[in-house]
Copies of this chain bind each other. A is one copy, B any other.
Amino acid sequence: MEPTKEEMALTGDRTYQNLDAAPAYAELKNAARVSLKDVLNPDRVAACQVGTSAGLQYNYAAKPVSDHILDLLQQLSEQQELIPKYWDILSGETMNPGENRKVLHHLTRGQLAADVLHNERNLRDFYAEQQRRIAGFAEQVHAGTILGSTGKPFDTVVQVGIGGSDLGPRAMYLALDTLLQNDPAYAGGTRSGTTGGRKMRAEFISNVDPDDAVAVLSRIDPETTLFILVSKSGTTQETLTNEAFVIDALAKSPAQGLKPRKHMICVTSETSPLAASDEYLDSFFIDDFIGGRYSSTSAVGGALLSLAFGPDIFAEFLAGAAEADTAAIEPDIRKNAALLDALIGVYERNVLELPATAVLPYSQALSRFPAHLQQLDMESNGKQVNRDGEPVAYPTGPVIFGEPGTNGQHSFYQLLHQGTDIVPLQFIGFTGCQGATDLQFQSSTSQAKLNANMVAQIAAFALGQSDSNPNKNFPGERPSSLLFADKLTPKVLGALLAHYENKVMFQGLVWNLNSFDQEGVQLGKVLTKQVLGGADMHPALAAFAKLMEI
């Protein structure tokens, strides 16, 4: 039985222990291994599936888990108190202890636990208010009541940000762009209750490499472009530097007199230098409780997605994420896709000792989703000390990589099939495509070919194939899971995003990590300042700087 909210709230005294202190972990190491060739059959395909939310299904039939292993993973979940700790996160406990912060990205898309107050402010209200302000702003831009310096409407939006201010919003934009442009249900106001369709083209500037800004700025018209400067701290080196490029491009535009304050908004924290500036048309806020890699559902993703696609599309996306958050409360791991995905991942990482995971979306729309997951997962759980700062004696977060299928099949799948290491796989697929056009060719549509390829790969990886020519021999026993839905809609995308956020959260809790800080990025920043400032530095660093003529 799932405890009530009230029961959960009352059991706030949690035990934090390392994975290797959990009794189930030792049992898992001794549990009989599963041969996929032995167990994979249609009954298993039907049985090993759990709906997450928004129609998204998680199928783990091709994962090497038995009922006994699942029972032990259930025990592990309970011994590590994963659901109560998730409840603590939802309730606004200080779950980022290293930085003494709450972890509130779930609150940007709904409220599952009690009110979260900070300095007497209700933070759900704060996040919802930012979303409303953004919606109002975006509607004015779309209606042409907010115009550029020369009185022309904006047709392009450029996000200037890096890391979580770039990867998530970019991946989400690309995930919906084809749908919004092509699907008749979204395009051109034919959809009831919304004008639908893509409102503005989006571009992104992230890298401090000047060639990034130069290339992007060469393919937009500053006169009709709205720039969103995104930096929580307001001090991100790359983003402030790229702001200078934007200001330069506005000044040099043939359309004279373009004023930055008519073409730039910012998304930042209320206390940042950007928020204090009057150089922006408007400012929208996040706070310290939203980590960059978890900020797609906050104002960081909200401004960009609301401007590009309209506020109601962003609201649908949030609704999907909220559904996945709700689904993740379920304590029975066989009924909780994010929790189960997390635990199977831990089994693969710590018991089977597999150091990498590939994410393989059979959807061109998700072309940059693996890059977002790379940050989400590797920055959250790429840690070697636990939440109390003690070294852990087991592997934590894996290397995450991936590219869309079928492209990957013609690239790195060779190693996945026949390499010396086994890489666990996460397939993502959709029965239908996003665009309005599909063609029959040689008796099947492209979408059917796409999905036939995907399921064929699942079977090939799991089952392999013996061949008397060892070069053509496939060992099989290569595990994969499949996340799938009817179609990649805004709601499904929100659910997919939140599924992974919650998976990573649960894994961090199993490993007893603080998944919400990123101290590992600090040293490089310090040394960079030494190089640029000509300060005393390690002589080898000075020698490398000289090589690069800095």
Contact = CB atoms under 8 A, between A and B. Distances in A.
A238 interface: yes
A378 B411 contact: yes
Interface in A12-63: 40-42, 44-46, 57, 59, 61
B419 A548 contact: no
* Residue among A355, A417, A473, A520 having the largest count of chain B Cβ atoms under 10 Å: A520
A543 interface: yes
A10 interface: no
Contacts of A507: none
A348 interface: no
B409 A524 contact: yes
Given A374-B411, A538-B463, A470 B401 contact: no
B162 A371 contact: no
Interface in A428-445: 429, 431, 433-439, 441-445
A545 B449 CA distance: 11
A236 to B, nearest CB: 8
Contact of A241 (B98, B244, B441): B441
Number of copies: 2
A209 B532 contact: no
A395 B382 contact: no
Nearest to A166: B407
Contact of A469 (B389, B439, B537): B389
A530 B456 contact: yes
B162 A518 contact: no
A517 B164 CA distance: 39
A207 to B, nearest CB: 5
Nearest to A390: B470
Interface in A414-429: 414-421, 423, 429
Nearest to A473: B385
Interface residues of A, number: 155
A116 interface: no
Contact of A460 (B178, B475, B523): B523
A491 interface: no
B459 A541 contact: yes
B550 A452 contact: yes
Interface in A42-89: 42, 44-46, 57, 59, 61
A9 interface: no
Contact of A420 (B394, B417, B448): B394
Nearest to A400: B412
A215 B543 contact: no
A474 interface: yes
Contacts of A549: 431, 451
A201 B415 CA distance: 34
A245 interface: yes
Contacts of A374: 401, 403, 411-412
Interface string A522-538: 11111110111000011
B448 A532 contact: yes
Given A45-B547, A356-B399, A418-B384, A447 B210 contact: yes
Nearest to A163: B410
A451 B207 contact: no
Interface stretch (A220-228, A294-302, A358-366): A358-366
A379 interface: yes
Contacts of A364: 207, 209, 211-212, 215
B548 A446 contact: no
A390 B470 CA distance: 7
Nearest to A396: B420
A524 B456 contact: yes
A343 interface: no
Contacts of A448: 532, 550
A128 interface: no
Contacts of A381: 415
Contacts of A118: none
Contacts of A411: 163, 167, 371, 374-375, 378-379
A419 B395 CA distance: 8
Contacts of A272: none
A248 B439 CA distance: 9
A455 B544 contact: yes
Nearest to A451: B548
Shortest 7 CB-CB contacts between residues of A and residues of B: A382-B415, A163-B410, A456-B527, A214-B435, A45-B543, A375-B411, A382-B419
12 contacts: A166-B410, A207-B364, A209-B363, A210-B445, A355-B355, A379-B411, A413-B521, A448-B550, A452-B550, A453-B528, A455-B544, A463-B540
Given A166-B407, A379-B414, 10 more contacts: A208-B450, A237-B449, A241-B446, A245-B437, A371-B411, A389-B469, A452-B545, A456-B530, A459-B527, A482-B547
